[in-house]
Structure 1
Amino acid sequence: MATLARILTLILMGALGTVAERFLIGLQAPQALSNPFSVMRLGAALQIAFDSLNSNPTFMPNHTFAFTYADCACDAKVSLDSFVTQVREKGIIALLGPVCAEASEVSFFIRVPILMPSCCPLCN
């Protein structure tokens, strides 16, 4: 838990130039339970982590964290489309998940940090 908190703090310090009250993080993961990075495996753990951060009065007081999910289906086109949608329509400030190289490359240019344990080739 402490590691996630440190990572989120570093991302927020680097991604934001102003103070905000709510930080929305995008999550991209396949829905298939057979995948080790499935949202069925990660979703509950992330919700617990975010709830823990939000209930800690000493960790970034007056700020809340939330995430929004998109099924990347381990497909480059779907992943890229989902990423652009999450940035433009949802306003995410960072992305978690096994996103594909295309989304990673776009994130560099629009300055949205990505935390991922792997790329899509490992999803298959």
Structure 2
Amino acid sequence: MTTAAPGPRALAHPDREAIRLEAVLHALADPLRLKVVRELAACDGDVPCGFFGLPVTKSTTTHHFRVLRESGVIRQAYSGTAKMNALRRSDLDALFPGLLDSVLDAAEREDRRLAASGEPLTDA
């Protein structure tokens, strides 16, 4: 089951109990989506989609945010004309304790490892 706020511009989100591990892992497997999640984890409060400056077209950006929202990783809501984004940390931590912190920590360690080796960072 999914829930959405009332109104014509409401966005559907899975209820906590409908979030599935395989969907979360799929969403986190993409470097651009992982970049978004890492930046959301570092932010206090909601941020607009334009905050992230992804190096892809608007339609591709929309796709990435939709995958994150439909998997239950983020919550999106309109604020005026901006679509605001927040990490669903409490839901993810309740369902999969330690998963999000482990993924974020692993991404940080990978960045340091790649930087030390001179390889380009995968996190666009």
TM-score by length of 1: 0.26
Higher relative contact order structure (alpha carbons within 8 Å, sequence separation ≥ 6): 1
Greater Rg over alpha carbons, structure:
2
